[in-house]
């Protein structure tokens, strides 16, 4: 016999973490710093839906374990291109003599 909470479309933090195979603490931290799945607050309760968890997981799908170095695009250095962000100071100041 199913219990009422088994049919609920909402998962609490422990259930959502179990669903994603991560620790509840990791899920809690992601709620604070960002980068985690969408959640809802029902009163004081934080809840998740399976579709939101699946979408978050799908967006984090990767085919390699590291971020590849992208080749340098010379257009990135074009100061006349309005989409080029300003470069920060990367050189060290000359030492005083």
77 versus 65: the higher-pLDDT residue is 65
pLDDT confidence band for 90 (50 / 70 / 90): very low
Distances in Å between the Cα of 45 and the Cα atoms of 28, 88, 89, 94 are 13, 43, 46, 57
pTM over 0.75: no
Instruction: Convert 39-64 into a string of H (helix), E (strand) and C (coil).
Output: CEEECCEEEEEHHHHHHHHHHCCCCC
pLDDT digits (tens, 9 = 90+) for 32-74: 999 999 999 999 999 999 999 999 999 988 887 776 666 655 5
| CATH class of the domain at 4-60 | mainly alpha
Return the domain boundaries, the chain: 4-60
The alpha carbon of 9 is separated from its chain's Cα centroid by a whole number of angstroms, namely 23
């Amino acid at each position: 016999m199913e219990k009422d909470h088994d049919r609920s479309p909402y998962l609490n933090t422990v259930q959502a973490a179990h669903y994603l195979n991560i620790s509840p603490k990791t899920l809690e931290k992601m709620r604070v710093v960002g980068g985690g799945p969408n959640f809802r607050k029902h009163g004081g309760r934080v809840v998740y839906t399976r579709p939101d968890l699946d979408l978050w997981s799908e967006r984090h799908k990767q085919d390699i374990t590291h971020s590849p170095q992208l080749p340098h695009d010379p257009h990135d250095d074009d100061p006349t291109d309005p989409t080029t962000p300003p470069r920060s100071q990367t050189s060290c100041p000359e030492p005083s003599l």
